[in-house]
Chain A
Amino acid sequence: MAVNIDEQGLTNEQGEQLTPLQAGLDRPPQLRAARVRQQSIIKTVVLVATLLFLFIPLASMLLFTVRHPLSGRWSLAAWQAIFTGNGESLGADLTVLWQGLGTSLALCVVTVVIMLLLMVPTMVIVHIRSKRLERAIEWVATLPLTIPAIVLVVGLGPIYRWLSADVLSTNPIWLCFAYVILVMPFSFRALAVGLNSIDVKTLCEASRSLGASWPRVFFRVIIPNLWQAILSASFISIAVVLGEYTVASLLGRMNLQVALFQLGQSNSQISTAMSLLALLFGVILLVALDLISDRIRNRKDK
Chain B
Amino acid sequence: MTLADTKAAVAAAADTTGTASANGTVTAAASAVLKESEVRGGGIQMRNVDKIYPGSSKKALNDFNLDVKPGEMVVLLGGSGCGKSTALRSLAGLEDIQSGRILVGGQDVTGVPVNKRNMAMVFQAYSLFPHMTALQNVEFGLEVHGVGKEERRRVAMGKLELVGLADQAGKYTQQMSGGQQQRVALARALAVDPRVLLLDEPLSALDAKVRVQLRDEIRRIQLDTGTTTIFVTHDQEEALAVADRIGVMNGGRIEQIDAPQTLYQRPATEYVATFIGLTNRLPGSSDGREGVVFGRRLPVLPNSAKGSDVTVLVRPENLTLAAAGDAADGSAVGEHARVEVIHFLGALVRVDTVISSGKWQRWNNGEQLKVTVQLPANELPAGLAVGSDVIIAPRPVAALAV
Q: Do residues A210 and B175 form an inter-chain contact, with CB atoms below 8 A?
A: no
Q: Do residues A209 and B174 form an inter-chain contact, with CB atoms below 8 A?
A: no
Which residues on the A side are within 8 Å of B119 (C-beta)?
A: 209
Q: Do residues A300 and B175 form an inter-chain contact, with CB atoms below 8 A?
A: yes
Which residues on the A side are within 8 Å of B116 (C-beta)?
A: 211
Q: A217-257: contact bitstring with B at CB < 8 Å (1 yes, 0 no)?
A: 00011001101000000000000000000000000000000
CA–CA, A207 and B172, complex, Å: 17
Q: B121-154: contact bitstring with A at CB < 8 Å (1 yes, 0 no)?
A: 1010111111100000000110011000000000
CA–CA, A202 and B93, complex, Å: 14
| B189 interface contact, C-beta 8 A | yes
Most B-side CB within 10 Å, residue of A206, A220, A227: A206
CA–CA, A210 and B121, complex, Å: 8
Q: Do residues B144 and A225 form an inter-chain contact, with CB atoms below 8 A?
A: no
Q: Do residues A211 and B175 form an inter-chain contact, with CB atoms below 8 A?
A: no
| A212 interface contact, C-beta 8 A | yes
Q: Known: A205-B123, A206-B123, A301-B175. Is A212-B115 also a contact (CB below 8 A)?
A: yes
CA–CA, A203 and B126, complex, Å: 9
| B391 interface contact, C-beta 8 A | no
CA–CA, A175 and B312, complex, Å: 80
Q: Do residues B127 and A205 form an inter-chain contact, with CB atoms below 8 A?
A: yes
* In the complex, residue of chain A having the shortest beta-carbon distance to the beta carbon of B132: A224
Q: Do residues B115 and A202 form an inter-chain contact, with CB atoms below 8 A?
A: no
Q: Do residues B131 and A202 form an inter-chain contact, with CB atoms below 8 A?
A: no
CA–CA, A126 and B116, complex, Å: 24
Q: Do residues B121 and A209 form an inter-chain contact, with CB atoms below 8 A?
A: yes
* In the complex, residue of chain A having the shortest beta-carbon distance to the beta carbon of B117: A209
Q: Known: A205-B123, A206-B123. Is A300-B144 also a contact (CB below 8 A)?
A: no
CB distance from B53 to the nearest CB of A (A): 13
Q: Do residues B188 and A210 form an inter-chain contact, with CB atoms below 8 A?
A: yes
CB distance from A21 to the nearest CB of B (A): 35
| B257 interface contact, C-beta 8 A | no
Q: Do residues A209 and B115 form an inter-chain contact, with CB atoms below 8 A?
A: yes
Q: Do residues A210 and B192 form an inter-chain contact, with CB atoms below 8 A?
A: yes
Q: Do residues A216 and B121 form an inter-chain contact, with CB atoms below 8 A?
A: no
| A166 interface contact, C-beta 8 A | no
Q: Known: A300-B174, A300-B175. Is A205-B115 also a contact (CB below 8 A)?
A: no
Q: Known: A205-B94, A300-B174, A301-B175. Is A211-B192 also a contact (CB below 8 A)?
A: yes
CA–CA, A221 and B128, complex, Å: 10
Which residues on the B side are within 8 Å of A206 (C-beta)?
A: 121, 123, 127-129, 185, 188
| B239 interface contact, C-beta 8 A | no
| A208 interface contact, C-beta 8 A | yes
Q: Known: A205-B121, A205-B123. Is A211-B115 also a contact (CB below 8 A)?
A: yes
| A199 interface contact, C-beta 8 A | yes
Contact residues on A (Cβ < 8 Å of other chain), bracket: 20 to 34
Which residues on the B side are within 8 Å of A209 (C-beta)?
A: 92-94, 114-115, 117, 119-121, 189, 198
Which residues on the B side are within 8 Å of A220 (C-beta)?
A: 140
Q: Known: A216-B144, A225-B129. Is A202-B123 also a contact (CB below 8 A)?
A: yes
CA–CA, A209 and B198, complex, Å: 10
Most A-side CB within 10 Å, residue of B120, B144, B185: B144
Other-chain contact of B141, A210, A227, A301 (Cβ < 8 Å): A210
Which residues on the A side are within 8 Å of B92 (C-beta)?
A: 209
* In the complex, residue of chain B having the shortest beta-carbon distance to the beta carbon of A220: B140
| A198 interface contact, C-beta 8 A | yes
Cβ < 8 Å to A, chain B residues 341-367: none
| B118 interface contact, C-beta 8 A | yes
Cβ < 8 Å to B, chain A residues 172-209: 198-199, 202-203, 205-209
Which residues on the A side are within 8 Å of B93 (C-beta)?
A: 209
Q: Do residues B127 and A199 form an inter-chain contact, with CB atoms below 8 A?
A: yes
CA–CA, A4 and B145, complex, Å: 69
Q: Known: A216-B144, A301-B175. Is A210-B127 also a contact (CB below 8 A)?
A: no
CB distance from A121 to the nearest CB of B (A): 18
Q: Known: A199-B125, A300-B172, A301-B174. Is A208-B130 also a contact (CB below 8 A)?
A: no
| A39 interface contact, C-beta 8 A | no
CA–CA, A225 and B129, complex, Å: 8
Which residues on the A side are within 8 Å of B131 (C-beta)?
A: 224-225, 227, 300
| A213 interface contact, C-beta 8 A | yes
* In the complex, residue of chain A having the shortest beta-carbon distance to the beta carbon of B129: A221
Q: B168-193: contact bitstring with A at CB < 8 Å (1 yes, 0 no)?
A: 00001111000000000100110010
Q: Do residues A208 and B94 form an inter-chain contact, with CB atoms below 8 A?
A: yes
CA–CA, A23 and B284, complex, Å: 66
* In the complex, residue of chain A having the shortest beta-carbon distance to the beta carbon of B130: A225
* In the complex, residue of chain A having the shortest beta-carbon distance to the beta carbon of B118: A211
Which residues on the A side are within 8 Å of B121 (C-beta)?
A: 205-206, 209
Other-chain contact of B115, A198, A203, A213, A301 (Cβ < 8 Å): A213
Q: Do residues B125 and A202 form an inter-chain contact, with CB atoms below 8 A?
A: yes
Which residues on the A side are within 8 Å of B117 (C-beta)?
A: 209
Q: Known pairs A206-B128, A209-B189. 13 more at Cβ < 8 A?
A: A199-B127, A205-B114, A205-B123, A206-B121, A209-B115, A210-B144, A211-B115, A212-B115, A225-B130, A227-B131, A300-B131, A300-B172, A301-B175
- Interface residues of chain A, those whose CB is within 8 Å of chain B, are 198-199, 202-203, 205-213, 216, 220-221, 224-225, 227, 300-301
A/B interface sample: 23 pairs, CB < 8 A: A202-B127, A203-B127, A205-B121, A206-B121, A206-B123, A206-B127, A206-B185, A208-B115, A209-B93, A209-B120, A209-B189, A210-B115, A211-B116, A211-B144, A213-B115, A220-B140, A221-B129, A224-B129, A224-B131, A227-B131, A300-B174, A301-B172, A301-B175
- Interface residues of chain B, those whose CB is within 8 Å of chain A, are 92-94, 114-121, 123, 125-131, 140-141, 144-145, 172-175, 185, 188-189, 192, 198
* Pairs A-B, 6 closest by C-beta atoms: A210-B141, A206-B127, A224-B131, A300-B172, A209-B121, A208-B114
